[in-house]
């Protein structure tokens, strides 16, 4: 519940407005629930301000998070048809990204993940979107498929006012150092520990 007042005012030569409008790099990490969910909640707020939203899901299976995808597609339609909120694009790695003709069965996941990052870094260079969610993006970083150093460089040099939220466990230290906002979600208690199963409207 931050009240919008910084604890200290840095001697960085920036005006309040410049500090206010600095594009945010946020990382949601840790073993608990809510990393992606909070990122989509942030995207909801950004959508409401008319921001151009792009979600890139670095997940193999399309089974999870279909609820958010479906809700955001409806929000995107609200923008396109009624001018409410901002436009929404939702891309997932699944069996190959929507913009490529490659099929997942023909390529390996590492290559598909690298294709995803290459596309994102092109879009960042073009300042295509206002708010990017790179969902589960820490995994290809962790597995060495994508260079953390390159990601930090591209994000560090991004122009305009492009906000980026990255989710996933075990965020690399270099990424954490580069981020403005880092939240760790810790599991205190989880219903699956008690043998309960995922359910409609909660897990999907």
Binding to its own copies, residues 28-47 (CB under 8 A): 28-30, 32-34, 36-42, 44-47
- Asked if 141 touches its own copies (CB under 8 A), the answer is no
Judged by CB under 8 A, which of 55, 57, 68, 113 binds its own copies? 68
Nearest to 151, CA basis, from 182, 177, 181: 177
Binders of its own copies in range 170-189 (CB under 8 A): 176, 179-189
Nearer to its own copies, 37 or 147 (CB): 37
- CA–chain centroid gap for 106, Å, is 26
170-179 b/e with 16+ CB inside 10 Å = b? ebbeebeebb
Nearer to its own copies, 21 or 103 (CB): 21
Instruction: Name the strands in the sheet holding 131-135, side by side, starting at the edge strand that comes first in the sequence.
Output: 25-29, 163-167, 131-135, 53-57, 88-92
Nearer to its own copies, 79 or 123 (CB): 79
Binders of its own copies in range 109-138 (CB under 8 A): 130-131, 136
Judged by CB under 8 A, which of 56, 57, 76, 85 binds its own copies? 85
Do 187 and 193 form a contact (C-beta atoms < 8 A)?
no
């Amino acid at each position: 519940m931050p009240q919008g007042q910084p604890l200290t005012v840095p001697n960085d030569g920036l005006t309040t407005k410049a500090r206010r409008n600095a594009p945010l790099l946020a990382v949601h990490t840790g073993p608990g629930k809510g990393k992606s969910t909070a990122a989509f909640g942030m995207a909801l707020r950004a959508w409401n301000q008319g921001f151009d939203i792009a979600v890139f899901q670095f997940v193999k299976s399309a089974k999870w998070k279909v609820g958010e995808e479906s809700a955001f597609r409806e929000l995107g339609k609200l923008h396109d048809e009624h001018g409410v909120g901002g436009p929404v694009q939702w891309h997932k790695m699944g069996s190959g990204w929507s913009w490529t003709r490659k099929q997942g069965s023909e390529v390996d996941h590492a290559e598909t993940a690298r294709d995803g990052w290459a596309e994102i870094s092109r879009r960042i260079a073009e300042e295509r979107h206002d708010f990017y969610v790179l969902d589960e993006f820490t995994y290809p970083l962790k597995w060495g498929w994508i260079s953390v150093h390159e990601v930090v460089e591209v994000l560090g040099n991004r122009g305009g006012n492009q906000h980026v939220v990255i989710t996933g466990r075990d965020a690399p230290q270099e990424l954490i150092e580069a981020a403005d906002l880092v939240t760790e979600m810790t599991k205190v208690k989880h219903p699956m520990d008690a043998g309960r199963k995922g359910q409609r409207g909660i897990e999907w």
